[in-house]
């Protein structure tokens, strides 16, 4: 379980994340939604110790993220940011192999190689494994990065806007894959998502943030309602039930 207590971050005089206290359940997919500037990515960065917090604590299965050695944490929790601006020319296989770094420190064992092959197979990257990242399309590259964090084999996988720059087909493919990873591999997946319909369709639990605070949280069915969404996004949002799934419409 990921527990945050009174987590706060200020940039100058503006408070980006304001005393967030949360318990994210273990297992399944949790999505963090909210308007731009709500503090979603900042919160995720602090949970994954990429960013220092000004106040509060975060624990992952009881381990304080600011005090636990970074390489120990790297075997529990992985994080993928949205901006993977690559200057390094690596092959897909090399990139995925680096997912084993927390275990192997660069000397790959047979066990590591098995994980690498599995992750590459899991994301259907077999044909691309020898290609350089800068020769891939945006969707393929995103898959390579997700393969790397899966290869890291952590209980918790945190992804900041994993659907960014993906078209509908690839976005759906990515969400299905995360669903599978949660179901089959027992991963706890935490996502920052902008598309509330993807969040609604694929998440078990949703956290809605607004102005640096948690506005609402609960099972997907409890959050994807006209009242809650209209409050979070400050606009009129209708929710329809189609085939047992909730779909929001907000185009006018």
Q: Interface with another protein by CB under 8 A: which range of 5-13, 88-96, 185-193, 215-223?
A: 88-96
Interacting residue with another protein among 4, 41, 78, 142 (CB under 8 A): 78
Non-local CB neighbours of 239 within 8 Å, separated by 6+ positions: 224, 225, 226, 229, 246, 247, 248, 249
- Which two structure tokens, joined as six digits, stand for 211? 């102005």
Interacting residue with another protein among 4, 41, 48, 142 (CB under 8 A): 48
55-60 and 2-11 strand pairing: antiparallel
74 touches another protein by CB under 8 A: yes
Residue count, binding to another protein (CB under 8 A):
33
Q: x/- binding map, residues 160-179, to another protein, per CB under 8 A?
A: --------------------
Interatomic CA distance for residues 90 and 87, integer angstroms: 9
129 touches another protein by CB under 8 A: no
∠ CA 242-180-109, nearest 5°, is: 165
Interatomic CA distance for residues 166 and 186, integer angstroms: 25
Query: Which of residues 162 and 216 has its CB atom nearest to another protein in the complex?
Result: 162
81 touches another protein by CB under 8 A: yes
49 touches another protein by CB under 8 A: yes
Closest CA to 211 of 30, 23, 12, 42: 42
- Which two structure tokens, joined as six digits, stand for 179? 């669903």
13 touches another protein by CB under 8 A: no
Q: Interface with another protein by CB under 8 A: which range of 10-18, 63-71, 164-172, 214-222?
A: 63-71
CB of 190 to another protein, least distance (A): 14
Interacting residue with another protein among 12, 36, 62, 70 (CB under 8 A): 70
What does each C-alpha distance from 224 to 21, 33, 227, 231 come to in angstroms? Answer: 21, 11, 9, 11
Query: Which of residues 49 and 246 has its CB atom nearest to another protein in the complex?
Result: 49
């Amino acid at each position: 379980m990921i527990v945050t207590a009174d987590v706060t971050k200020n940039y100058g005089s503006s408070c980006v994340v304001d005393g967030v206290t949360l318990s994210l359940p273990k297992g399944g997919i949790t999505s963090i939604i909210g308007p731009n500037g709500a503090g979603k990515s900042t919160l995720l960065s602090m949970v994954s110790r990429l960013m220092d917090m000004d106040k509060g604590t975060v624990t992952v299965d009881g381990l304080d993220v600011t005090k636990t050695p970074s390489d120990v944490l790297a075997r529990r929790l992985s994080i993928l940011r949205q901006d993977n601006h690559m200057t390094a020319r690596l092959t897909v296989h090399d990139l995925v192999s680096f997912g084993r770094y927390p275990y192997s420190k660069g000397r790959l064992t047979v066990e590591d190689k098995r994980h690498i092959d599995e992750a590459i197979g899991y994301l259907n990257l077999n044909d691309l494994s020898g290609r350089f990242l800068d020769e891939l399309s945006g969707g393929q590259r995103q898959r390579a990065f997700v393969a790397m964090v899966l290869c890291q084999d952590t209980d918790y996988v945190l992804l900041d806007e994993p659907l960014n720059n993906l078209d509908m087909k690839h976005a759906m493919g990515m969400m299905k894959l995360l669903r599978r990873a949660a179901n089959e591999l027992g991963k706890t997946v935490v996502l920052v998502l902008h598309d509330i319909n993807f969040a609604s369709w694929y998440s078990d639990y949703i956290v809605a943030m607004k102005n640096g605070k948690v506005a609402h949280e609960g099972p997907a069915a409890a959050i994807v309602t006209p009242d809650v969404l209209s409050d979070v996004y400050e606009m009129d949002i209708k929710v329809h039930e189609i085939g047992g799934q909730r779909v929001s419409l907000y185009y006018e």
